[in-house]
Structures are given as structure tokens and as C-alpha cells.
Amino acid sequence: MSYINKLTIAREFRNNPTRAENILWNAIKRDQILGYRFRRQYIVAGFIIDFYCPKLRLGIEVDGEIHNLDDNRIRDLERENIISQYNINIIRFTNKEIKDNILTVLNNLKAKIKNIEQKNYI
């Protein structure tokens, strides 16, 4: 699939987020998480990452039930391996985690960010 097609899909995803994506986006947009800016539906290596912070090289994936299927788990791991070649870390949260306990999700995200800061001296 071409970059232009991926860009169109990413734009569509941005305009029609899932409920969990919307909850998380409202919590992290406008530099709300430790002053870092995240982008929605960011394209890397032909894959669309739900949220991405360029400064931290951190991607956030929001996983629905479909990601629990064996084939999709394998595909997710392969995708993460490819994305990691670009020195990008991925953290995953389920829709349920985000909907049921956004504060825990945000605390886990902050811990991941602090870990990256320490490793990279940011």
C-alpha cells in the first residue's frame, strides 16, 4: 500500500477514533503528559501507530479485542519488531484498561516516559 493510501487511512482513523482512543487522546494531547507532545495516527515503516511522541521515540498502541487472537498477536509482534528497527519503543494498552482505569494507564505511561528519559538523558 502506498504512503498516500496510508496517509488517507491515518486521516480517517484520526477523524473516527474508537472510544478508548478518544479517552486517551483527551488525556495526552496538548503536552499534558510530562510536557511531551504526541501525534495521532503516525506512519512509520508503512504502519500506523495510534499515538507517537517523536522526542521520546515512543509509540502508544490501543488494542481492542481483535488483538487477542493468535494471528493478530503474531502480526503485532512482527510489526513491533519492524518498528523497533527505527529505534521506536511501543507501549500497549487495551481498550478495557483505558475505559476502566485511565489513571493507571497514565501512571504506566509516565513510568515508561521516565524510564526513556533516564536511558536517553532527556
Per-residue pLDDT of the chain (122 residues; tens, 9 = 90+): 676 677 777 778 777 789 999 999 999 999 989 999 999 999 999 899 999 999 999 999 998 765 454 566 778 788 899 999 999 999 999 999 999 999 999 999 999 999 999 988 76
Supply the pTM of this predicted model. Answer: 0.86
Return the CATH number at 61: 3.40.960.10
Distance CA 43, CA 48 (A): 4
Domain of 82 in residue numbering reads as 3-120
Q: How many domains does the chain fold into?
A: 1
Sort strands 89-94 and 58-63 into parallel, antiparallel or unpaired: parallel
Q: Identify the helix (H) or strand (E) that includes residue 99.
A: helix 95-100
Distance CA 43, CA 90 (A): 13
